[in-house]
Amino acid sequence: MGYYINVEPGVNVYVEDINPTGGKTIFFLHGWPANHKMFEYQFNQLPQLGYRCIGMDMRGFGNSDKPWTGYSYDRLADDVRSVVEALKLQNITLGGHSTGGAVAIRYMARHKGYGVAKLALFAAAAPSLIKRPYFPYGLDKEVVLSIIRGTYDDRPKMLREFGDMFFFQYVTQPFAEWFFQLGLQAAGWSTAAVANTWLGEEGLFSDLGRINVPTLIMHGIHDQVVPFPLAEVQKEGIKNSILIPFEYSGHGLFYDEKDKFNRELALFVG
């Protein structure tokens, strides 16, 4: 079941609600530059176990509206709050991949975990995707600047190169093409705007300590996009958290080891 939810005047986001009459709810936030369809292999399996799965396309991506502005972590977290309120969600597990994980963390801090009973982070881009003078982990700033330049100069080429480093396990050419098309569904300006948000000074350092629900951290040890040490920093900063390394995964652990991913997530949700 798919529908649009208004998050601010003139801006609607697309939400897919799978097994809406199911039991416990898992709300998935996708990573950059894809959309909710990246969780296809979770949506195929978890509803069979009785879960209700909700996938939201963040503004600027997938089927959602693509306004010129509104790509800060604060605004994206506020969009999530609008969906939680519109669907009257309670006691959910909020799960986020990569940038979606960063938005989930900001949501927990900014909205005091409204409606959320548990948090699940999948290769989350937090507390900072880039290295900083006081933070030696993450990507070099120049890598992100190159992504932004590539978005403006030749977005398909940039997306193709990003896809080539996304997975650790072998993926077929048809699968790689499908994943590539997910990125093309975004607007170029929103693709660049979110990348600019990674460079912002806000970061998520103070947010980690404000999370007070059980938290599952899953992260591929071969991740070339969000290096594994960031998961260890998350584990140190979030009370009542557990870290599960994925030994045969890169950034796309939801597909590289999809059976383990689905199993561990289901065990955590309960």
Residues known to be catalytic = 98, 223, 251
Beta bridge partners of 121: 96, 217
Residue 84 makes CB contacts below 8 A (sequence gap 6+) with: 27, 92, 114, 115
CA angle (187 as vertex; 184, 188 as ends), nearest 5? 90
Whether the ω angle into residue 127 lies within 30 degrees of 0, i.e. cis, is yes
Q: How many CA atoms lie within 13 A of 154 on its CB side?
A: 5
Cα separation of 69 and 269, whole Å? 34
Q: How many CA atoms lie within 13 A of 9 on its CB side?
A: 0
Assigned token pair, 154: 């030749």
Q: Is 263 strand, coil or helix? A: helix
- The set of residues, in sequence order, having a beta carbon less than 8 Å from that of 48 and lying 6+ positions away, is none
Strand intervals (E) in the chain: 2-8, 11-18, 25-29, 52-56, 92-97, 116-122, 215-220, 241-246
The encoded tokens of residue 131 equal: 């290295």
